[in-house]
Structure 1
Amino acid sequence: MLHTKRVAFTDQHGFPRRIVLRLDDAGTVPRFEQLRAQLAVMVAVGRLEPGCRLPTVRDLAGQVGLAPGTVARAYRELEQEGTLAGRGRAGTFVVDDPPHSEPHLERRRRLTEAARRFAAEIRQLGIGHEDASAALQQASTELAAQEGGTSTGSPIGDPVAVQVP
C-alpha cells in the first residue's frame, strides 16, 4: 500500500518547510531505499537546498511511520554518497555542494521538459494523473534499486514534481 506523508524540515534560512514522501509497504524496494532515493532526488532537483536541516532520525521515523533504524540507514547512505552531513547534536544537513547537482534553474528547466514529455505520452495513452504518478513512482524506485541504490533517478517527494499537468 502506498502511503503519502508530509514531513516538516527547516530550510537553509531557518524557515519551516514541508516535503512529501511516498512509501510503498507492498513494493519490492526496501523502505530505507525508497526514502534514500526520494531525498537524493529532492536534493538533486533543488527541493532540498544546501543548508537545509532534515528532521532527526527519531522525528522523521515518527512522521513517516518507519523504524528509526530504517531512517538511520537512509541518512547514513546519503552521508556516504556526500549528499548529507551529520553535525552531531546540530542535526543532519544537505551539504553545500551535493553530488549530482546542477545549477538550480537548469535542473528546473530539465525537469519541466521531462514532465512535459511524460504528460504528452500519458495523455496519448489515455492514462489518468493518479495512475501515471503511481507508475512513475514504481519505475523510478525500481530503477534506483537496479542501479545499486545510488541513482538519483528516483521518485521526487514534491507533489508538483511527480504530478503531471
Structure 2
Amino acid sequence: MDITIDPDSPVAPYEQVRLRIAALAAAGHLAAGTRLPAVRALAGTLGLAANTVARAYRELEAAGLVETRGRHGTVITATAAGVSGRAQRAAADYVTAVRAMGVPSDTALALVKAAWEDH
C-alpha cells in the first residue's frame, strides 16, 4: 500500500493516513474486501505511533469506508470502493441463492466469471 507521511505537512499524520486510504479505495487501487495491514504493522512501516494509525482506521470505520472484523482484520468496504448499493444487494442476493442450493463458493465465483465473460 502506497502511503507516505509528510512530517512538514500541516495535516495531522492520522489524517494523512485516512485521506490516502480513502483515496486509494476510491481510485480502485484498494478493492472492496482488501485487508488493510494491522495497525501496528502499518505504524511501524510509516514510523508512526500505533495510536495514530488506529485513529485513522477508527475514522475510516465511522465513515463506513472500512470494516473491522476482529481477528480477520480491517477491510475496505464496497462503499469505499465505489460499488453501488444496488450492486451490493445483487451480490448478497446471489450468495444467498447459491448457498441455499449448496453451491460451493469457488463454483459460484466461476459461474459469475463465466456469465460476465459471456455478456
TM-score class, shorter-chain normalisation, is 0.5 to 0.7
Cα RMSD, aligned residues only: 1.5
Q: Which residue of 1 aligns with 2:31?
A: 49
CA contact (8 A) 1:44 1:102 kept: no
Residue segments in structure 1 that go unaligned for 5+ positions in a row: 1-18, 104-165
Cα drift, residue 45 of structure 1: 0.8
Q: Which residue of 1 aligns with 2:13?
A: 31
Are 1:21 and 2:3 matched, yes or no?
yes
Q: What residue is the counterpart of 2:79 in the other structure?
A: 98
SS in 2 for 1:21: coil
Give the structure-2-normalised TM-score: 0.66
Q: Is the 8 Å Cα contact of residues 32 and 75 (structure 2) preserved in structure 1?
A: yes
Structure 2: unaligned runs, 5 residues or longer? 85-119
Distance in 1, matches of 2:83 and 2:33, equals: 16
- Rg bigger for which structure? 2
- Between structures 1 and 2, the one with greater helix share: 2
Distance 1:61 1:54 in 2: 12
Which aligned runs of 4 or more in structure 1 are off by greater than 6 angstroms?
Answer: none
TM-score normalized with structure 1 length: 0.48
Listed one character per residue, the Cα deviations across residues 59-103 of structure 1 (whole Å, up to 9, x for unaligned) are 1101111000000000000000101000001100011x2147268
SS in 2 for 1:54: coil
> Per-residue displacement from partner, 1:6-52 (whole Å, max 9, x unpaired)?
xxxxxxxxxxxxx2112110111000000100000101111000010
What's 1:59 paired with? 41
Deviations 1:114-136 (A, max 9, x none): xxxxxxxxxxxxxxxxxxxxxxx
CA distance in 2, matches of 1:99, 1:67: 25
Q: 1:81 aligns with which of 63, 68, 76?
A: 63
Letter in 2 for 1:71: V
Contact 2:27 / 2:81 at 8 angstroms: preserved in 1? Answer: no
Structure in which a larger fraction of residues adopt strand: 1
> Quick one: higher RCO (CA 8 Å, sep 6+), 1 or 2?
1
Tell me the distance in 1 between the aligned counterparts of 2:63 and 2:54: 14
**Paired residues of 1:35 and 1:74 also in contact (CA < 8 A):** yes
Contact 1:52 1:94 in 2 (8 A): yes
Q: Does structure 2 retain, via aligned residues, the 8 Å contact 1:58–1:68?
A: yes
